[in-house]
Amino acid sequence: MSEIYQMALLKLAGRASGAGRLDNPDGTATVNNPMCGDRITVDICLSDNETVRELAHDARACLVCQASASVLGKAAIGKTVSELASVADQLNDMLKNGGAVPTGDDWQDYQSFDAVIEHTSRHNCVLLPFEALKEAAEDN
């Protein structure tokens, strides 16, 4: 059985923190993974054009993407767009180079994604929510 689907990751996906849509977002973006059909929409409201005040995500996606969106949905509130871009870079490094989980207590749930590292075809599933967030911030 694939080690990716450890209980912790399944619980993250099931928790679905932040799942849904915002009524009046400041920015929204829908991003597709052309390799597999994953699709996620991220709505955000920002304070001072920089700090995430609200975030919601609507994913038609695999469990890995859903779990990552759930981590982001919980941890993004109160973070700046720049900080979240840095987290995305650290996450990319974790996946591509076996680097550490992004720094900060809010991101330790990404330890549940360690089995994804050796499956390069699933890396974009983890990163897709961050890509949508970046585009939603640019849409603001």
Partner 1 sequence: MSFDPGDIRSQFPILNEEKLGRAVHYLDNGATSQMPEAVLNAINTHETAARSNVHRSVHFLAERATRAYEGARDDIAAFLNAARREEVIFTSGCTAAINLVAHTFGETLSPGDEILISVLEHHSNIVPWHMLAARKGLRVRAIPATADGELDLGKLDTLVTPKTRLIAVAHGSNVTGAITDVGRVVAAAKNVGARVLLDGAQMVPHSPVDVQALGVDFYAFAGHKAYGPNGVGVLWMPYELAETLPPFMGGGEMISTVSLTGVTYAKPPLRFEAGTPPIANAVGLGAALNWLQSMDRVGAEAHMKDLTDHLINSLSAIERVAVIGPTGNNAHRLPVVSFTVDGIHPHDVAQILDGFGVAVRGGHHCAQPFMDILDIAGTTRASLSPYNTMDDITALTDGLREVLKLL
Q: Under the rule (CB under 8 A), what is the footprint of partner 1?
A: 1-2, 4-5, 10, 35-39, 60-64, 119, 122, 125
77: exposed, middle or buried (Cβ count in 10 Å: 0-12, 13-18, 19+): middle
Q: Which is nearer to partner 1, 39 or 86 (CB)?
A: 39
Q: Which is nearer to partner 1, 46 or 64 (CB)?
A: 64
Q: Which is nearer to partner 1, 52 or 64 (CB)?
A: 64
11 contacts: CB under 8 Å, gap ≥ 6: none
Question: Cβ 131 to partner 1, closest distance in Å?
Answer: 17
Question: Cβ 59 to partner 1, closest distance in Å?
Answer: 10
For residues 74 and 57, is the Cβ–Cβ distance under 8 A? no
- In the structure encoding, which two tokens stand for residue 66, read together? 């859903």
- In the structure encoding, which two tokens stand for residue 137, read together? 């911030």
Question: Cβ 51 to partner 1, closest distance in Å?
Answer: 32
Among 82, 83, 87, residue whose Cα is nearest residue 71: 87
Among 59, 63, 10, residue whose Cα is nearest residue 32: 59
Question: Cβ 60 to partner 1, closest distance in Å?
Answer: 5
Q: Which is nearer to partner 1, 1 or 105 (CB)?
A: 1
